Amino acid sequence: MKENSFILKGNICYAGTKDRLAIAEGGYLVCVQGRSCGVFPVLPEKYRGLPVTDYQSCLIIPGLVDLHTHGPQYPFRGLGMDLELLEWLETHTFPEESRYEELAYARRAYGMFAEDLKASATTRAVVFGTIHVPASILLMELLEAAGIKAFVGKVNMDQNCTEQLREQDAEKALADTRQWLADTMGSFQNVRPILTPRFAPTCSGPLLEGLGELQREYGLPVQSHLSENLSEIDWVKELFPWSGCYGEVYEHYGLFGGEALTVMAHCVHSTEPEVELLRQKGVYVAHCPQSNINLSSGIAPIRRYLDKGIRVGLGTDLAGGAAMSMFRCMADAIGASKLYWRLVDQDSRPLTMEEAFYLATKGGGAFFGQVGSFEEGYELDALVLDDTGIRTTRALGTRERLERYIYLAEEGGRLAGKYVAGQEIFRQNICG
Amino acid sequence: MKENSFILKGNICYAGTKDRLAIAEGGYLVCVQGRSCGVFPVLPEKYRGLPVTDYQSCLIIPGLVDLHTHGPQYPFRGLGMDLELLEWLETHTFPEESRYEELAYARRAYGMFAEDLKASATTRAVVFGTIHVPASILLMELLEAAGIKAFVGKVNMDQNCTEQLREQDAEKALADTRQWLADTMGSFQNVRPILTPRFAPTCSGPLLEGLGELQREYGLPVQSHLSENLSEIDWVKELFPWSGCYGEVYEHYGLFGGEALTVMAHCVHSTEPEVELLRQKGVYVAHCPQSNINLSSGIAPIRRYLDKGIRVGLGTDLAGGAAMSMFRCMADAIGASKLYWRLVDQDSRPLTMEEAFYLATKGGGAFFGQVGSFEEGYELDALVLDDTGIRTTRALGTRERLERYIYLAEEGGRLAGKYVAGQEIFRQNICG
């Protein structure tokens, strides 16, 4: 028997296209060497030798991809939510992040984050660390051990922030980043480094220039924040007066798509030229609806991005977002889009459940390659959902059960199994 | 020892005023015959004979009041969320509600609702039933047995709805309602009937007139819906062309505050004259943020209502709202107010955590009398919160722990105890 080769049986559901679910009730999901061979109503002869786990009436869906989150902010999720972005950064975020200089603290805090992420519905994540090299390496080790596939970034910031979190200068920042890359590139099976300028205001020109060089030298991916908050955008314009839009700052230094696989969180207030730049450069937008609500940032125009063909996924943005649950994130994305439609633009119809599900699986999954679907050739990330605790008198179809699970995962839902790239992360007693 | 007399020890927190928490860490909450005698840092001599339950580091807060929910819609919560109000009513609500004609079905469905409500953080609720008298009585019996204090309404509707849910005519509707009142008034310890015209469009003039007479005859409370959705408001204007605003329809028939204790759900799009009428008549507004988002209704201007001195509480509005959790409801109220501030009215500052907590306890509690606080004389509804499952590296104060619980009740929170009017509903092993 081949490694990571098995069959899962159950009510299988994944995003066929953006608008349509593919459903196989009582179907067989075949995994060979960590990749999907497809979903079958009847098991083909050639796979009969593989072990079958029968999850009976449970739902089986692709793993969920958190395209933007902050590991070090986990300890204060749900706190300080009455503040706006820049005040919240000063009061909560920067003091917390400065604690990760101490490796013992990082071990305790990142340990909680990695354990809880392992138990969650998230199979892949794109994660901010802090400026600290040892702590960032530790975070990578812990996620590796948890079996979560992740891009993890040692953060770069050398200006406009509390001294404790400021890298000494661009030169030192870049030397540290090189050291970190040397220590981590190719060292893990699940985890890879990603260049992580925190956001334009905290990065000097020389730092951004050096990061652009590193990107080209090693072909590294990039993550940062973009156009989250109106005061932030004004600040960027002040700091980089030559830029036509916020995104142009990153683009100027070669940190905005094109050859560089790039994800930008938020894009709540992107101008028309910035939206066009996102599209041209193939930059991924990480839509973080709960964070954008908590920090009073607004609502990102996701319908517009989808219509333009921009690449979009969903993110929790811990701890701007309080919830780690990507189900909650889907429900929030739908809700936010309804309010955008009602309050901002009556031509921008809300996201459907199918679209939100697509964004949380295949949409964000594409950042990792062939991820987020059960189509043949995709890496096999799967969740087994036991919804018997979300009680009802009705006999429900698979689409209805998925919708209900998205809204009510936290009120009676239970993960009965989790697989990442064909590795079983955990399996619990199955539902009746 | 007196009945329902005891002491709870722990980190006690309640809404002192709308803007300020009252906190007693390691305090004593004294209950005598179901009512609070106050909170004390040191136990007064005269209470030393009462039994003490030491909940150690747990939080102890007042019970949460759900000022608007629909019992019969529980089976389809989280379904059909891509629809707007009137379409959703036709597709999901009316077909489901027609099933409660069959008492065996009602027993199964209401059994789930009552059990899950008992296990939830809700101690008091104002509940819609259906038009069916036997099922509505059954709902009252089940809530009585669960120990939840509730107003429950047999629904009235005699026009503009599916035939299966239409009462034959006003005369028959009023006769049934009289029968129901005769069977239930004074029959329960926890549960009382409330007049429940579904909403103006489904009630004929003669029906509303008869309900107004019943209100005056028995001094009954009233619940209904008001200005939830723009199409609904247009419809009311068509049906009652003489009305200056939607609320005036109820007011015309004596079903809108004044002598009649009244709660109106939603008030998302109330006009200035309607807002003034709400204030003058002392009508309670049940703010249901999640439902208003799910059904794309919009965001109610709660800051404006509070500034005007209008009475406001929070409601889940199952199944327009999917979540039964009143913690979630508080977080949604804060989030919705932030988006209202950002997108609609920059002078309308967001609700604070303290205000949302006030609304969910004392604000809605006032509908039940002296409820929702631990001040002396209040009926003692209490929740014991174990937040050890919401992990953090920080040592947190009581205010911070409450904020975190509001945002993360469903990601690691656990109810360790629940009391309603001095009755223990359940108690679990306490936290460490």
Instruction: List, in sequence order, the alpha helices (H) in A257-379.
Output: 272-281, 289-294, 302-307, 326-343, 353-358, 364-365
Q: Is A11 left (phi over 0), alpha (psi -120 to 50) or beta?
A: beta
Average pLDDT over residues A181-187: 97
**A228 vs B169: CA distance, rounded Å:** 56
**A231–chain B Cβ distance below 8 A for any pair:** no
Short-list A348, A358, A364, CA closest to A313:
A364
**B266 vs B263: CA distance, rounded Å:** 10
Q: Do B323 and A79 touch (CB under 8 A)?
A: no
**B231 vs B201: CA distance, rounded Å:** 11
Full DSSP string of B138-197: HHHHHHHHHT-EEEEE-EE--SSS-GGG--S-HHHHHHHHHHHHHHHTTT-SSEEE-BEE
Provide, as residue numbers in chain A, all residues whose Cβ is less than 8 Å from the Cβ of B323: 407-408, 410-411
Average pLDDT over residues A332-350: 98
Element (H, E) at A206: helix A205-218
Of B109, B293, B407, the CB nearest to A339: B293
Q: How confident is the model at residue B194 (pLDDT cuts 50, 70, 90)?
A: very high
Q: How confident is the model at residue B53 (pLDDT cuts 50, 70, 90)?
A: very high
Per DSSP, B360 falls in state I
**B150 vs B384: CA distance, rounded Å:** 21
Do B396 and B351 contact (CB within 8 A), yes or no? Answer: no
**B96 vs B94: CA distance, rounded Å:** 5
Provide, as residue numbers in chain A, all residues whose Cβ is less than 8 Å from the Cβ of B391: 112, 116
**A45–chain B Cβ distance below 8 A for any pair:** no
Per DSSP, B89 falls in state I
Backbone angles phi, psi at B420, to 5 degrees: -125, 120
For chain B, give the mean pLDDT: 97
* Tens digit of each residue's pLDDT (9 = 90 or more) over B6-49: 999 999 999 999 999 999 999 999 999 999 999 999 999 999 99
Give the chain A residue nearest B353 (alpha carbons): A82
Of A299, A404, A411, the CB nearest to B79: A404
Q: Do B81 and A407 touch (CB under 8 A)?
A: yes
Backbone angles phi, psi at B260, to 5 degrees: -90, 115
Statement: residue A2 has pLDDT above 70: no
Do A409 and A28 contact (CB within 8 A), yes or no? Answer: no
Give the chain B residue nearest A295 (alpha carbons): B338
**A393 vs B113: CA distance, rounded Å:** 11
Statement: residue A431 has pLDDT above 70: no
Q: Do B411 and A343 touch (CB under 8 A)?
A: no
**B322–chain A Cβ distance below 8 A for any pair:** yes
Do B384 and B9 contact (CB within 8 A), yes or no? Answer: no
**A78–chain B Cβ distance below 8 A for any pair:** yes
**B280–chain A Cβ distance below 8 A for any pair:** no
Do A176 and A193 contact (CB within 8 A), yes or no? Answer: no
Of chain B, the percentage scoring pLDDT greater than 70 comes to 99
Nearest Cα of chain B lies from the Cα of A297 at a distance, in angstroms, of 7
**B19–chain A Cβ distance below 8 A for any pair:** no
Do A431 and A56 contact (CB within 8 A), yes or no? Answer: yes
Count A/B contacts: CB-CB distance under 8 Å.
135
Nearest Cα of chain B lies from the Cα of A121 at a distance, in angstroms, of 12
For chain A, give the mean pLDDT: 97
Do A14 and A361 contact (CB within 8 A), yes or no? Answer: yes
**A409 vs A413: CA distance, rounded Å:** 4
Which structure tokens are listed for A197? 């300028």
| Confidence (pLDDT) at B31 | 98
Nearest Cα of chain A lies from the Cα of B46 at a distance, in angstroms, of 39
Residues 325-384 of A with CB under 8 A from B: 325, 331, 334-336, 338-339, 341-344, 350, 352-353
Buried b or exposed e, range A228-260, using 16+ CB within 10 angstroms: bbeebbebbeebbeebebbbbbbbbbbbbbeeb
Do B353 and B403 contact (CB within 8 A), yes or no? Answer: yes
**A25 vs A28: CA distance, rounded Å:** 9
* Tens digit of each residue's pLDDT (9 = 90 or more) over A125-139: 999 999 999 999 999
| Confidence (pLDDT) at B83 | 85
Of A293, A339, A393, the CB nearest to B108: A393
Nearest Cα of chain B lies from the Cα of A308 at a distance, in angstroms, of 22
| Confidence (pLDDT) at B2 | 64
**Sign of the C-alpha dihedral computed for residues A399, B410, B316 and B55 taken in this order:** positive
Of chain B, the percentage scoring pLDDT greater than 90 comes to 94
Which structure tokens are listed for B175? 């006769």
Give the chain A residue nearest B293 (alpha carbons): A335
Q: Do B411 and A410 touch (CB under 8 A)?
A: yes
**B398 vs B396: CA distance, rounded Å:** 7
- Alpha-carbon radius of gyration of chain A: 21
Do B204 and B158 contact (CB within 8 A), yes or no? Answer: yes
- Alpha-carbon radius of gyration of chain B: 21
Ranking A171-185, B25-39, B78-92, B187-201 by mean pLDDT, the lowest is B78-92
**A11–chain B Cβ distance below 8 A for any pair:** no
Provide, as residue numbers in chain B, all residues whose Cβ is less than 8 Å from the Cβ of A77: 404, 407-408
* Tens digit of each residue's pLDDT (9 = 90 or more) over B124-162: 999 999 999 999 999 999 999 999 999 999 999 999 998
Nearest Cα of chain B lies from the Cα of A168 at a distance, in angstroms, of 28
**B332 vs A41: CA distance, rounded Å:** 41
Per DSSP, B67 falls in state E
Residues 281-300 of B with CB under 8 A from A: 290, 293-294, 296-299
**B87–chain A Cβ distance below 8 A for any pair:** no
Q: How confident is the model at residue B99 (pLDDT cuts 50, 70, 90)?
A: very high
Residue A297 buriedness (CB in 10 A; 0-12 / 13-18 / 19+)? buried
* Tens digit of each residue's pLDDT (9 = 90 or more) over B266-276: 999 999 999 99
Do B316 and B323 contact (CB within 8 A), yes or no? Answer: yes
Residue A7, helix vs strand vs coil: strand
In sequence order, the 6+-apart residues with CB closer than 8 A to the CB of B346 are none
- Judging by DSSP bridges, how do beta strands A149-153 and A191-193 pair with one another? parallel
Statement: residue B431 has pLDDT above 60: no
Statement: residue A256 has pLDDT above 60: yes
Provide, as residue numbers in chain B, all residues whose Cβ is less than 8 Å from the Cβ of A109: 393
In sequence order, the 6+-apart residues with CB closer than 8 A to the CB of B151 are B125, B126, B127, B191, B192, B193, B194, B221, B223, B367
**B359 vs A182: CA distance, rounded Å:** 54
Residue B224, helix vs strand vs coil: strand
SS3 content of chain B, % helix, strand, coil (to 5): 40, 25, 35
* Peptide bond before residue B319 is cis, with ω within 30 degrees of 0: yes
**B176 vs A45: CA distance, rounded Å:** 64
Average pLDDT over residues B392-414: 97
Statement: residue B426 has pLDDT above 90: yes
**B117–chain A Cβ distance below 8 A for any pair:** no
User: Residue A307 carries which side chain, given as an amino acid letter?
Assistant: D
Provide, as residue numbers in chain A, all residues whose Cβ is less than 8 Å from the Cβ of B411: 323-325, 410
Full DSSP string of B90-130: IIIIHHHHHGGGSHHHHHHHHHHHHHHHHHSSEEEEEEE--
Nearest Cα of chain A lies from the Cα of B330 at a distance, in angstroms, of 12
**How many CB atoms are located within 10 Å of the residue B307 CB?**
10
* Tens digit of each residue's pLDDT (9 = 90 or more) over B343-380: 999 999 999 999 999 999 999 999 999 999 999 999 99
Give the chain B residue nearest A109 (alpha carbons): B393
Q: Do A79 and B400 touch (CB under 8 A)?
A: yes
Residues 88-107 of A with CB under 8 A from B: 105
Average pLDDT over residues A319-327: 98
Provide, as residue numbers in chain A, all residues whose Cβ is less than 8 Å from the Cβ of B293: 335, 338-339
pTM: 0.98
Short-list A282, A276, A350, CA closest to A312:
A282
* Peptide bond before residue A319 is cis, with ω within 30 degrees of 0: yes
Provide, as residue numbers in chain A, all residues whose Cβ is less than 8 Å from the Cβ of B297: 342
Do A365 and A349 contact (CB within 8 A), yes or no? Answer: no
Nearest Cα of chain A lies from the Cα of B229 at a distance, in angstroms, of 11
Provide, as residue numbers in chain B, all residues whose Cβ is less than 8 Å from the Cβ of A78: 390, 403-408
Task: Pick from A73, A82, A341, A355 the residue to mutate for testing the B interface (most B CBs within 10 Å).
Answer: A82
Q: How confident is the model at residue A106 (pLDDT cuts 50, 70, 90)?
A: very high
Short-list A13, A22, A100, CA closest to A57:
A13
Short-list B65, B69, B64, CA closest to B320:
B69
Q: How confident is the model at residue B84 (pLDDT cuts 50, 70, 90)?
A: confident
**B354 vs B238: CA distance, rounded Å:** 41
Buried b or exposed e, range A172-197, using 16+ CB within 10 angstroms: ebbebbeebbeebeeebebbbbbbbb
Of residues B431 and A221, more confidence is placed in A221
Task: Pick from B97, B112, B118, B343 the residue to mutate for testing the A interface (most A CBs within 10 Å).
Answer: B343
Average pLDDT over residues A17-39: 97
Which structure tokens are listed for B406? 């509001």
Provide, as residue numbers in chain B, all residues whose Cβ is less than 8 Å from the Cβ of A343: 298-299, 339, 343-344
**A75–chain B Cβ distance below 8 A for any pair:** yes
| Confidence (pLDDT) at B85 | 83
| Complex prediction ipTM | 0.97
Task: Pick from A338, A401, A402, A414 the residue to mutate for testing the B interface (most B CBs within 10 Å).
Answer: A338
**B207 vs B215: CA distance, rounded Å:** 12
| Confidence (pLDDT) at A51 | 97
Q: What angle do CA A228, A232, A235 make, to 5 degrees?
A: 150
Q: Do B393 and A81 touch (CB under 8 A)?
A: no
User: Residue B3 carries which side chain, given as an amino acid letter?
Assistant: E
Average pLDDT over residues A14-25: 96
Q: How confident is the model at residue B75 (pLDDT cuts 50, 70, 90)?
A: very high
Which structure tokens are listed for A363? 């949409």
